[in-house]
Amino acid sequence: MKRLLRTFWIVCCTGVLAVYFLSCLTPYIRTSSFSFISLLGLAFPFIFLAAIFCALTILFIKKGTAALLFVLIFLAGFKNIRSSFAISTGGWHMQKDTASLRVMTWNVEYFLNCYPLTDSLASTRRDMYSFIQQYQPDVLCMQEFRQISGPSYPSFIKELKDIGYGYLYISNDSIVPFLGNVAYTGSAILSKVPLLDSGRINIRNTQMNENIVYGDFLLNNKKLRVFSGHLASLNLYADTINGPPTNENIYEKTYDRKRKIEYKFREGEVTHEKEVTIVKRALANSPYPFIYCGDNNSPSTTYTYHYLSGGLQDAFLKKGFGLGGTFYGISPTLRIDACLPGKQFVVQQCIVPQVRLSDHYPIVTDISWKPE
């Protein structure tokens, strides 16, 4: 019986390890070539832990084999492991260096509501503004920014200007009627420092338009460009928003609808491939050193992330610590937002504050010029 159980466990571990080694290929294989690969990228942190557990149990069966497995697990998965876990021990200091630029990127989920700031229902938006004031970024890169015209709605632009962000550019991806008014939504760049130039670049000219925006700034008398982008949302639960109320939590809903969600995730990654090709072209054509910030809607273990971050620095991996998950709605492992400076910069510090105001956590980064 003992021998049978051991054989059964070895077979199970072999299956887990086979899936793990396949998941190590996610940075290299396009979803359009092999659609299932994107799901392995999504689950990589869990598959990695399962592989480590299997290797540990094999220690009690055959130590030499287990040692070899540990080596293979880390060698094969190095690229995904490195993009999943940050190990900097520098910590975070609220006071920034005077020679640095502090950039915050944040998907603000349309600021959640449009109640006047004096209304108790606007408490989340007030807390968001207070949080921004606490960190005092020089440049704000926002995604899912919304402004509604009309006298009965507050001006988010004015509210942000009141706390110091007087320079602004919005992509206006969609301009649609909203209860007798007009709602403007998209990505935005706001800043305390003068905005020398700005513009937008279309990355998905469809019914759901998508643009990245950029702004040019001076840092120590040298020009740099900051991009704020948003890749296609996966809309995993869009078909349930107007459905009957349910007591299911997000995990139960995901399990019950897993086949449809798997399909949407794979389709979303194919769209991201097309978008990121245009983004990379825009970055390559930048006349100045640049920083790309955005909500990529794609984990750091996918082809999309690795292609987008190629040749750039990942601020969180440079100076952050831990998993750095930025979207907590489904799993704490989902680092789908990023701040990616070019190699001309030094990342001085980076933090992902665990503040649950939007459905995303912000990323705050201090950046300076690399010494010449």
How wide is the angle at C-alpha 258 spanned by C-alphas 51 and 354, nearest 5°?
A: 70
Res 304 pLDDT > 90? yes
Mean confidence (pLDDT) of the chain? 87
Q: 143 and 44 share a domain? A: no
Over 90: is that where the pLDDT of 305 sits?
yes
Same domain, 62 and 112: no
Residue 96 inside a domain? The answer is: no
pLDDT of residue 241: 42
Instruction: Evaluate if residue 34 carries a pLDDT over 50.
Output: yes
Is residue 338 situated within a structural domain?
Answer: yes
Examine the domain organization and report whether 174 and 79 are in the same domain.
no
Give pLDDT, residue 235.
Answer: 59
Q: Would you state the structure tokens that stand for residue 297, as one six-digit string?
A: 């809607």
208 lies in some domain: yes
Of these ranges, 12-16, 128-132, 269-273, the one predicted with the greatest mean pLDDT is 128-132
Strand partners, 170: 188
DSSP code per residue over 152-180: TS--HHHHHHHTT--EEEE---EEEEETT
The per-residue pLDDT for 344 is 97
Q: Give the residue with greater pLDDT, 82 vs 148.
A: 82
C-alpha 230/C-alpha 336 separation (Å) is: 10
Number of domain units in the chain: 2
89 domain-assigned: no
Residues 6+ apart with CB under 8 A from 331: 325
pLDDT for res 243: 46
Neighbours of 280 (CB within 10 A): 16
Q: Is the pLDDT of residue 54 over 60?
A: yes
Quick one: pLDDT band at residue 329, thresholds 50, 70, 90? confident
**Residue 244 in this model has a pLDDT that exceeds 60:** no
Please identify, among 59, 84, 109, the residue that sits at the C-terminal boundary of a domain. Answer: 84
Give me the CATH number covering residue 192.
3.60.10.10
Read off the pLDDT of each residue in 185-189 and give the average, rounded to a whole number.
93
The CA R_g of the chain, rounded to the nearest whole Å, is 22
Q: Are residues 121 and 75 in the same domain?
A: no
Share of the chain above pLDDT 70, in %: 90
Taking residues 126-136, report their average pLDDT. Answer: 96
Tell me, yes or no, whether 20 and 73 share the same domain. Answer: yes
Mean local confidence (pLDDT), 75-81: 95
Shared domain for 193 and 312, answered yes or no, is yes
Assess whether pLDDT exceeds 50 at residue 20: yes
The pLDDT of 103-128, averaged and rounded, is 91
pLDDT: is 119 or 330 the higher one? 119
Phi–psi pair at 26, nearest 5 degrees: -60, -30
Tell which wins on pLDDT, 334 or 247.
334
Residues 25 and 117 in one domain: no
Model pLDDT, residue 181:
79
Contacts of 4 (CB under 8 A, 6+ apart): none
Residue pair 204/273 in contact by the 8 Å Cβ criterion: no
* Whether 354 and 217 share a structural domain: yes
Q: State whether 142 and 69 are in the same domain.
A: no
Looking at residue 4, what is its pLDDT? Answer: 77
Question: Is residue 91 a part of any domain in this protein?
Answer: no
211 lies in the same domain as 261: yes
- Among the residue ranges 59-63, 165-169, 239-243, the one predicted with the least confidence is 239-243
Residue 93 lies in a domain: no
- The answer to which of 159-163, 232-236, 304-308 has the lowest mean pLDDT is 232-236
| pLDDT at residue 139, as a whole number | 98
Structure tokens that stand for 272 in this block: 């991201």
The residues, ordered by sequence, that sit 6+ positions from 84 with a Cβ below 8 Å of its Cβ are 44, 45, 48, 300, 301, 323, 333, 335
Boundary residue ending a domain (24, 49, 84): 84
pLDDT of residue 155: 87
Write out the residue range of the structural domain in which residue 185 sits. 101-369
The C-alpha angle 155, 108, 257, rounded to 5 degrees, equals 130
Q: Would residue 90 count as lying in a domain?
A: no
Between the alpha carbon of residue 121 and those of residues 198, 242, 265, the distances in Å are 34, 22, 33
Residues 340 and 264 in one domain: yes
Compare 345 and 113 and report the one with higher pLDDT: 345
- Domain end call among 84, 119, 153: 84
**Is the separation of the CB atoms in 116 and 122 below 8 Å?**
yes
pLDDT per position as a tens digit, 271-282: 888 999 999 999
What is the per-residue pLDDT for 261? Answer: 60
Place of tokens 């290299």: 28
Q: Is residue 94 in some structural domain?
A: no
Structure confidence at residue 199 (pLDDT)? 95
Residues 105, 234, single domain; the answer is yes
Look up the pTM and report it: 0.89
